[in-house]
Chains A and B, each alone.
Chain A
Amino acid sequence: MPDLEINMIVNGRAVTKPARPHMRLLDYLREELNLTGTKEGCGAGECGSCSVIVDGKLMKSCLMPIAKANGATIETIESLASNGDLNVLQKAFQKTGASQCGYCIPGMVMAATSVLRENPFADLEEIREGLGGNLCRCTGYSKIFEAVEIARDVNNGALPLTALDAPEAGTSYIGNNVHRLDAPGKVTGALRYAGDMVMPGMLHMQVLRSPRAHARILSIDTSAAEAMPGVACVITAANVPGEDGFGVFVHDQPVMARDRVRYIGEAVAAIAAQDLATAMAARDTIKVEYEDLPAVFDPEEAMKEGAPILHDYAGDNIVKHIPIRRGDVEIGFAEADLIVEQTYSTQAVEHAYLEPEAGLAYVDHDGVVTILSPSQNITHHRHMLAKIIDKPIHKVRFIMSPVGGGFGGKEDMIYQGMLALAAMKTGQPVRLVFTREESIVSTAKRHPARITCKMGLKNDGRITAATFQMISDGGAYAMSTEGVMRKAAILSCGPYAIENVKIDTYGVYTNNTPSGAFRTFGAMQAQFATESHLDICAEKLGLDPFEIRRINMMGEGATTHTRQKLGSVSLGAVLEAAEQASGWEAGPPVSRGAQRNDLGKDGNRQPCTLGARIRSPTKPLHEEVA
């Protein structure tokens, strides 16, 4: 594999350095030039975390073989802040708080730079279009668009430079906008996430994952991988010295599959090698003999007698059942004028944070096993890892690297154990960076839920009783399922005063990808069912959807279904604000339709269109009407 001779101008400096022929511009910038402000989010041209400017044009460096960039002039995020001073655009990002996790921000700033170069007077539609190839998951696009508009106006003199200054905090930081302290590191690309970190002598890890949903492991043959030049170590469950198990509530998951795989994508073995290509090649030589076991993919099936059992401690496959009882639902239903029963289902959702999982582990000079990763729960991980690797707690250290988006998806210790074992075995630093596909295949998802909701109501809209049964697919390992079931149960019947409730939430083991923590921690699924249900009830009773909620909402001093006394309640104010802001047309849902007048108003989201730059002012592509 002869190297390519590469000559480029990068950020104003001539660069001459050979490249492996398969390298992408992204790899070259990050690995050869250590310009890690350019991020990899997907590797497939979908997310724009890797956007750079090539010969004046914004390009996705993950889609550009390095040979294409030979001879080109490249600008990366590192070129924008000269002498460390943020430029106008970067200051505008700081001003509007357009940098939450920060992982997409270098790409966003480069895309915005390109948009304003192409048209210094670009309007909002053109800005949106120009940033269309860049995804964000936590900042939200509004703040980013707002920042680009401020930068545009400052550049054009329509706004004074002071428009970029930090807002006055007044007498308190609470309730006032302030500049984020970490924004400069994010808008300049200086902040290093785990996948950006390197150490001398660092090895690269690759993980062999299960292609089977449920199987017994008969044998693992790692001999060919062990013998491969450049491979430093191969590890399997056999290399775990201590108590092999982690999890948020139940320690049911081994660092790597032990005797048995329970879902497609479960780690079976890991390799640390001198470079990524060697680690990949070694991974592909490992031979695993499986014997398929009966598998179950539906939680209701898994709860039945005779279903395949995933974990010996839970013979009924139930991770957690949370029951809540209040009053007597039979009496409540007997009082009702109307009973409505519906079943709702929700699907698994991937967190899709733009930073795929990554970690770097090493054993320091004092023999402390150190793991650097974007873990959302380092103290708990530290305690679990100490037991797994059989070390006293003071010999285990977790360093939390910047989290490039988490949303609960980085609460589980699914790869840190492998890194620790490899670092201990080799005595060298070891880094693992997930691909986007690996992240999607192997990490926890939002619990898919099937919810049956039954409500009894009086004709005036008052709820007399509610039963709520939620069966959630917990997947192959428990992870945060217990907590998610708890919160789903607590919030299941919403902020409504109902005297008689019967609530049951179940988290169930199946051979699907594990479910875990995800924003709202189970409340979203529950609220989806309850709020949809209330709309249906409103329709049946001829009530306005806001009205039915006002009739039933808990007031100050109310006691919740779990006996919490509420000191203050803002629901009434929230409903009023939502009603006004949405231009809501009062009346039951059935009366709405052709005459609705709430769309197409200021503050309403317009339908998505394209072509701002090709649409002449006299030639609208479409009249956007409701």
Chain B
Amino acid sequence: MLTCDQYLMPDTLGKALAQWAGAPPGSRLVAGATDTLPWARQGRAGDVHVPHLIDVSKVAELQGYEISGGRVRLGAGLVLQRFLDDETLKAHLPCMPCCAVWFADDQIREQATLAGNIVNASPAADGTPPMIAMNGTIELARLEDGEITRRTLPLTQFVTGPGATMRGDDEIVTAVECDSMTGYGGSFEKVGQRRSLVIATVCTACLVKPSPDKMSFQDVRLAIGGIGPVPLRLTHIEDFLKNRPVTREALRQASHMIDGLINSRTRRAYRRSVLSGFIERALEDALADCGVVILSDSFKEAVNA
């Protein structure tokens, strides 16, 4: 059971930062609180008493999202269900509806935030691979001499290990930013034991932009989670596919470029055997999402002849 002396719900970032800076040691920040409450139970952290729980879910500056200059700025308070029901977000972030639908369940997605998922830094986090694939950055704010100062870090640098990030003790995550991916097909794949409320054994996010004739890859984004301490961007596979014709053979070759990628503590052999098929399927789904037909090798030969 989680108990606290005070439960604070600041409504502005200034108040939140001041309360956080002034909170007694051992206090915690929560947004959705969907990770923190189950954490404070027997078998994990046990019964936990914290002095202050500071809930940032009502902070005005953290709400909603903005799109400008080819980037999408997602407020840290944005909950995962919005990726399923907001048409603008769906158009700009085509891999996110699939990611969200596999994330926990409808009920938890109404409360859990993308930023919280990233900052919790689980190696199996569903939200991090898509954001890494979309050149994600994270924005952090702190108080310096009473003024709000902000810094931005690439997500690939921000998450440093299981449960570990570059967030400073006095910082609050204010936003996650990524490329707008209009014109891309998106997909998200996850291996788990059931359809809802399942922690990924492996998850992958993929985005594909086809050439105007829809015959080759113009751009590919691919990232994977659950195979090591931090999610990985697979740039070597992206580079291999760029400008290559969309063929079954290209997908197959790309999906086998996984040497040395598996660094999990457990089930390495399983993850290795899953990963190839998984990358291939993620690419297939992203291609299907933007209406590209994969040429069979025999068809390609026929065209070349």
Contact = CB atoms under 8 A, between A and B. Distances in A.
B5 A63 contact: no
Interface string A57-69: 1111011110110
B304 interface: no
Contacts of A67: 7, 9, 55
Contacts of B4: 1, 21-22
A43 interface: yes
A65 B43 contact: no
Nearest to A280: B47
Interface stretch (A89-97, A449-457, A576-584, A610-618): A610-618
A438 B42 contact: yes
Contact of B108 (A128, A133, A435, A621): A133
B41 A43 contact: yes
Interface stretch (A44-52, A253-261, A481-489): A44-52
Interface string B84-116: 100000100000011001101111101100000
B41 A59 contact: no
Nearest to B7: A21
B37 A130 contact: no
Interface residues of B, number: 41
A330 interface: no
Contacts of B261: none
Interface in B169-211: 194-197
B2 A22 contact: yes
B6 interface: yes
Nearest to B190: A610
B38 to A, nearest CB: 4
Contact of A613 (B42, B47, B84): B84
Contacts of B97: 611, 614
Size range of the chain A interface in the assembly: 35 or more
A280 B55 contact: no
A614 B33 contact: no
A619 B289 CA distance: 7
A280 to B, nearest CB: 6
A602 interface: no
B7 A45 contact: no
Given A24-B37, A60-B107, A619-B288, A65 B98 contact: no
Given A59-B107, A64-B111, A46 B197 contact: yes
B248 to A, nearest CB: 15
Contact of B42 (A60, A114, A437): A437
Nearest to B83: A614
A46 B197 CA distance: 7
Contact of A133 (B43, B102, B107, B289): B107
Point out which of A4, A68, A441, A619 has the most chain B C-beta atoms below 10 A from its C-beta.
Answer: A68
Interface string B253-269: 00000000000000000
A43 B4 CA distance: 17
B63 to A, nearest CB: 15
Contacts of B194: 608
Given A48-B107, A65-B55, A435 B41 contact: yes
B195 A1 contact: no
Given A63-B108, A132-B197, A133-B196, A44 B38 contact: yes
B102 A22 contact: no
B91 to A, nearest CB: 12
Contacts of A130: 106
Given A57-B110, A65-B33, A68-B33, A610 B1 contact: no
B275 interface: no
Nearest to A70: B9
A438 B102 CA distance: 29
A58 B289 CA distance: 29
A277 interface: yes
B53 interface: yes
Nearest to B284: A622
B139 interface: no
Contact of B37 (A57, A59, A63, A609): A63
A129 to B, nearest CB: 7
B7 A22 contact: yes
B117 interface: no
A59 B105 contact: no
Contacts of B3: 22, 277
A63 B4 CA distance: 15
A363 to B, nearest CB: 29
A2 interface: yes
Contacts of B33: 63-65, 68
Contacts of A277: 1, 3
Point out which of A65, A111, A128 has the most chain B C-beta atoms below 10 A from its C-beta.
Answer: A65
B105 A132 contact: yes
Given A610-B195, A614-B84, A2 B6 contact: yes
Contacts of B108: 45, 60, 63, 133
Contacts of A437: 41-43
B6 A21 contact: yes
Contact of B5 (A21, A70, A611): A21
A622 to B, nearest CB: 8
B189 to A, nearest CB: 10
A435 B197 contact: no
Interface string A1-15: 110100000000000
B34 interface: yes
B57 interface: yes
B42 A132 contact: no
B126 interface: no
Interface of A: 1-2, 4, 21-22, 24, 43-46, 48, 51, 57-60, 62-65, 67-68, 70, 111, 114, 128-130, 132-133, 276-277, 280, 284, 435, 437-438, 441, 608-611, 613-614, 619-622
11 contacts: A22-B1, A22-B3, A22-B7, A44-B37, A48-B107, A65-B30, A67-B55, A114-B106, A129-B101, A608-B195, A614-B97
Given A22-B4, A62-B37, A276-B1, 18 more contacts: A1-B4, A22-B7, A24-B37, A43-B37, A45-B38, A48-B107, A60-B111, A63-B32, A64-B111, A67-B55, A68-B111, A130-B106, A133-B196, A435-B42, A614-B90, A619-B289, A620-B288, A621-B288
10 smallest CB-CB distances across A and B, nearest first, come from: A133-B105, A132-B196, A44-B38, A21-B7, A437-B42, A22-B3, A614-B97, A608-B195, A67-B7, A57-B110
